[in-house]
Amino acid sequence: MNLPAALIAHLALLSLISFGGFPSVLPDLRDFVVGTNGWLTDRDFANCFAIVQAIPGPNMILMTSFIGWQVGGLPTAIASALATFGPSCAVAYTAFRFWDRFRDTAWQSIVRRGLAPVTIGLVIAGGYVMARVGDAGWASLAVTLAAIALMLGTRISPLWLVAAGGALGALGGL
């Protein structure tokens, strides 16, 4: 398999198993792109993640597009975007049709209560891995912890936190 095809096949697989949203597949995606295949450096990967925090639009779809762009140019970027949302949207479309039919059944709430903790653990793992990516030092980890505290403890818009993080980085070189 050539490079773009391997990336796109892997993204399509991750799309199908990204329970809890796309952040839960970030650790796996990083291993595949940076570790297994060496297409991007750790810092390139972190840059793709950082850039999509700062621009509008469907950010996880954009992130995989930037990875695709660096692996195989614009066609790979577009194919990566399609592979990120295509399979999961097909699942959503089908699931929505069936879900309602079984809405009052007991097993549905059991499945939901069972799956929720696993997906939540995966989401937190995604954040943890992104916090440790590249050459993250103590200052950088302190910024991550502050962002967690402010998100949980205040009603401040995440946009301000992203802006403050960028400003701190520019001033202090985290």
Partner 1 sequence: MAYVLNEAPAGPRVTLPALFTTFLKVSLFGFGGPIVWARRFIVEQQHWLTDQEFADLLSLCQFLPGPNVASITVCLGSKLRGPAGAAAGLAGFIVIPWSIGFGLGALLLHFAGVGGLRNTLHGVSAVGAGLIIATGLRLLTPHRTRPMALLFAALAFVGLAIAKLPLLLVVTALAPLSIAAALTERAILR
Q: Would you say how long the chain is, in residues?
A: 174
Q: Contacts for 114-119 with beta carbons within 8 Å, 24 or more apart?
A: 115/19, 118/19, 119/19, 119/20, 119/24
CB closer to partner 1 out of 38 and 100 = 100
- Write out the binding residues for partner 1, residues 101-160 only, by CB under 8 A: 103-104, 106, 109-131, 133-134, 136, 140-141, 143-148, 151-152, 157-159
**Residue 173 touches partner 1, criterion: CB under 8 A:** yes
Q: Give the separation between CA 108 and CA 152, rounded to whole angstroms.
A: 30
**Residue 3 touches partner 1, criterion: CB under 8 A:** no
**Residue 59 touches partner 1, criterion: CB under 8 A:** yes
**Residue 83 touches partner 1, criterion: CB under 8 A:** no
Closest listed residue to residue 27, CA positions, set 45, 2, 7, 9? 45
The residue within the footprint of partner 1, chosen from 14, 34, 71, 79 (CB under 8 A), is: 14
Q: Give the separation between CA 63 and CA 49, rounded to whole angstroms.
A: 6
The residue within the footprint of partner 1, chosen from 49, 72, 76, 83 (CB under 8 A), is: 49
- Write out the binding residues for partner 1, residues 21-40 only, by CB under 8 A: 21-25, 27-28, 31
CA distances to 22, 83, 135, 152 from 162, in Å: 19, 28, 19, 15
**Residue 166 touches partner 1, criterion: CB under 8 A:** yes
